[in-house]
Structure 1
Amino acid sequence: VGHDVWRDPAEVKARIGVLPEGLRLFERLSGRELLGYTGRLRGLPGDEVDRRATQLLDVLDLTGAQHKLVVDYSTGMRKKTGLAAALLHNPEVLFLDEPFEGVDPVSAQTIRGVLERYTASGATVVFSSHVMELVESLCDWVAVMAAGRIRATGTLAEVRGGAASLQEAFLELVGAGGRDAGSGLDWLGGGSR
């Protein structure tokens, strides 16, 4: 984004959106109230916050639940509300941690559609996931991390290398290739006790 995170954190925060795993939302607010609060906290004019919130609630299929308290939202609704809050100020870069974990297929498809529309506009999404099939279907550029170190980085093809899938390449890169998860479980299955 062109700004030093440590020297100018306020400027950086104005340009990024974040949806962390396990996001804590103000549960005693409704979805609409939460977005209104978030937008005003970011310094957006009230009428602009309301306009953007209405559009985000509509696109993320939350209009019907906008006046319900967040405490009553499902996991998928919470993720979509968190995504709406992260996008409300139209950041240049969006950071997502496991954005599809615990999300139903319909909500996942909705989130995916919003992210594809967002990146098509030239914005950047950085997200973490343990689901390699998801990474393969969504990402242009990949970094594999293990024990706090980057083991590989590049395009999907570069990171995959000669492996049949990103999952296979990941297992090799983190040193788990060839591990037999079923060994020593000869008693498992088959109906015997």
Structure 2
Amino acid sequence: MRILSVCLSVTLGTKYHSRGTSDHFGGTKYHSRSTSDHFYGTKYHGHGTRDHFGDTSDHFGGTSDHFGGTKYHGRGTRDHFDGTSDHFDGTKYHSRGTSDHFGGIKYHSRSTSEHFYGTSDHFGGTSDHFGGTKYHSRGTNDHLHGTSDHTRGRNDHFFHGTNNHFRGTKYHRRSTNDHFHGTNDHFSWYKIRFSWCK
């Protein structure tokens, strides 16, 4: 079995808030409630319980998940990664509904909240594009960071919308009240550099 290692070069000290649990990613504070996901570099699909991430196909919250070439099983609250005590790339990964560790970065998730490295991520809550990384979450359909931003049924539009500002300004998503990377929750104030290492 091939384990992928992740190389991160992240400008730290950026803050991401959304109401809920507390997740830490690459030194950047990340809070999210239920369906908030943050990815960099790997494909992640989440439609309620079925998520794909990590260059392979992952089914999260009910079926079998493959992460970075390693099999990952998630059965609601008790998830096992790599068939052992949830170890991935030498880092402990726990998925018991609340606390997960991935790639040496602390990750907390409540219900279906995921935080992974990806290029395109789909998650069953809202549809957001940010950080040059494709992020989909099926609910409010929000697009961030250099892409067209809309929110379906939430009246939140980025770049050209109401109550939501993006790229260096404050970003609010009305359902979860999320703030993206920045000192005052600015999104594109810092760059995330990331590469897969074999």
Shorter-chain TM-score range? under 0.3
Q: Bigger radius of gyration, 1 or 2?
A: 1
The TM-score, its normalising length taken from structure 1, stands at: 0.26
Compare relative contact order (CA 8 Å, sep 6+) and give the higher one, 1 or 2.
2
Structure in which a larger fraction of residues adopt strand: 2
**Structure 2 length normalisation: TM-score?**
0.26
